[in-house]
Amino acid sequence: MSLRIAVVKGDGIGPEVIPEAQKILEHFLTDADFFEVELGLAKWEKTGSACSPDDIRELKGADAIIFGAVTTPPDPDYRSVLLQIRHELDLYANLRPIRSLRPNPDGSFVDMMIVRENTEGLYSGIEEIGTERSTTLRVVTKAGSRRIAEKACSLVLERDRNHQLVIGYKGNVLKSDLLFRDTCSEVASSFGIQTKAVFIDALCLDVLQHPNNYDVIVTTNMFGDILSDVCGYLTGGLGMLPSANIGDTHAFFEPVHGSAPDIAGKGIANPVAAVRSAAMMLEYFGMKQQACLVEESIADLINSGVCTPDLGGCESTSSFGSRLIAVVCKKEERKI
Ligand code: NAI
Ligand code: MG
């Protein structure tokens, strides 16, 4: 049976970058069946709902989902579409590779993986909002920490680099983080992996100063969200960072960036984050070679100055996407 891929363009630059990612998927997944699901602000304006139970059902029916970005509607009762999807599909592991395509001045490349717990922490969705006092419950469970630690440890082994897992936490202030740290350490020792627990604020600076000291970093939900945007600095900005949201039964691929209303509609958004997210989907389907080919093709273009304005170039979103497909095809021909 052919794969069923849900395509969610969303809002802002989502509908600009996702077609470029879809071109790559269609190129490699020739038998797949692509179907669109509309979510986000535009849908909320039309129907009063940014993501309905029917939409969730459709997403659950897909083998994988490629997603652009959504804008937060101006509604006090609005529940984040992404939080809803991550909870409903139990996408507990948010994998955010931080890989530079341009060499550093010393010739090295940044290559680390942020493994962010994606269903609890400060994004539990458990909130009491008042006019005098508002609270959000930060949830850390042993089971939630264990499964994300297991994911992180298997990535440490797969990447086979320094066999150390860094745990980003803030246990000096947030006692809930001690459960997270200790569970991650327990799991890591059962995998034979050493751990180093680092306070998240210090970690944000150290990853920028010494990125090559890092391989896999596991952390809680909001810390992972912030840390990955910080790491955008190492790779050329938010237009470069892909991500995968993985559960035991569903997989959802999206750029780290949002809907970027400041540049939406201008045709200048960098599609690389979305395309790399598509490449992560290929890898999820066991097509590692094809995913590498996409990465190499993006690197070739960017290193020869072919890029969108955020990286100092003058390509449009779609012209970059077209040139990318051309490079991918050329590389394939050479390999045959
Ligand atoms: P953002 O990621 O949309 O933009 C931050 C900055 O990065 C902007 O200056 C933007 O122009 C730039 N940027 C982002 N992606 C780019 C790309 N592909 N190419 C070139 N430049 C790019 O974050 P912001 O401004 O905080 O949020 C805007 C909206 O997006 C909000 O409504 C927010 O709720 C939503 N959002 C949605 C996310 C999602 O759907 N996964 C994630 C983050 C924010
Ligand atoms: Mg973010």
Kindly identify the ligand whose nearest atom is closest to the C-alpha of 221.
2
Give the per-residue pLDDT at 336. 65
Active site residues: 123, 170, 201, 225, 229
Burial class (CB in 10 A: 0-12, 13-18, 19+), 32: middle
Note the pLDDT tens digit of each residue in 242-299: 999 999 999 999 999 999 999 999 999 999 999 999 999 999 999 999 999 999 999 9
Q: Find the 269 Cα to ligand 1 centroid distance in Å.
A: 10
User: 279 to each of 23, 69, 202, 254, how far by Cα in Å?
Assistant: 11, 17, 32, 11
Ramachandran bin of 114, using left for φ above 0, alpha for ψ from -120 to 50, beta for the remaining angles:
beta
Note the pLDDT tens digit of each residue in 122-151: 999 899 989 999 999 999 999 999 999 999
Those residues of the chain that have pLDDT short of 70 are 336
Structure tokens at 23: 């071109």
* Ligand 1 pocket, residue 316 CB under 6 Å: no
Measured from the Cα of 229, ligand 1's closest atom is 2
* Ligand 1 pocket, residue 225 CB under 6 Å: no
Pairing state between β 127-128 and 135-136: antiparallel
Q: Find the 264 Cα to ligand 1 centroid distance in Å.
A: 10
* Ligand 1 pocket, residue 263 CB under 6 Å: yes
* Ligand 1 pocket, residue 317 CB under 6 Å: no
Give the per-residue pLDDT at 135. 95
Give the per-residue pLDDT at 145. 98
Ramachandran bin of 236, using left for φ above 0, alpha for ψ from -120 to 50, beta for the remaining angles:
left
Give the per-residue pLDDT at 137. 96
Give the per-residue pLDDT at 163. 82
Give the per-residue pLDDT at 165. 98
Give the per-residue pLDDT at 73. 73
Give the per-residue pLDDT at 71. 94
Give the per-residue pLDDT at 334. 84
Residues 6+ apart with CB under 8 A from 169: 177, 178, 180, 181, 197, 198, 199, 200, 219, 220, 223
Q: Find the 257 Cα to ligand 2 centroid distance in Å.
A: 6
Measured from the Cα of 10, ligand 1's closest atom is 40
* Ligand 1 pocket, residue 310 CB under 6 Å: yes
Q: What is the 3-state secondary structure (H, E, C) of the chain?
A: CCCEEEEEEECCCHHHHHHHHHHHHHHHCCCCEEEECCCCHHHHHHHCCCCCHHHHHHHHCCCEEEEEECCCCCCCCCCCHHHHHHHHCCCCEEEEEEECCCCCCCCCCCEEEEEEECCCECCCCCEECCCCCCEECCECCHHHHHHHHHHHHHHHHHHCCCCEEEEEECCCCCCHHHHHHHHHHHHHHHHCCEEEEEEHHHHHHHHHHCHHHCCEEEECHHHHHHHHHHHHHHHCCHHHCEEEEECCCCEEEEECCCCCCCCCCCCCCCCHHHHHHHHHHHHHCCCHHHHHHHHHHHHHHHHCCCCCHHHCCCCCHHHHHHHHHHHHHHHHHHHC
pTM metric for this prediction: 0.95
Give the per-residue pLDDT at 75. 74
- Which residues partner with 1 through β-bridges? none
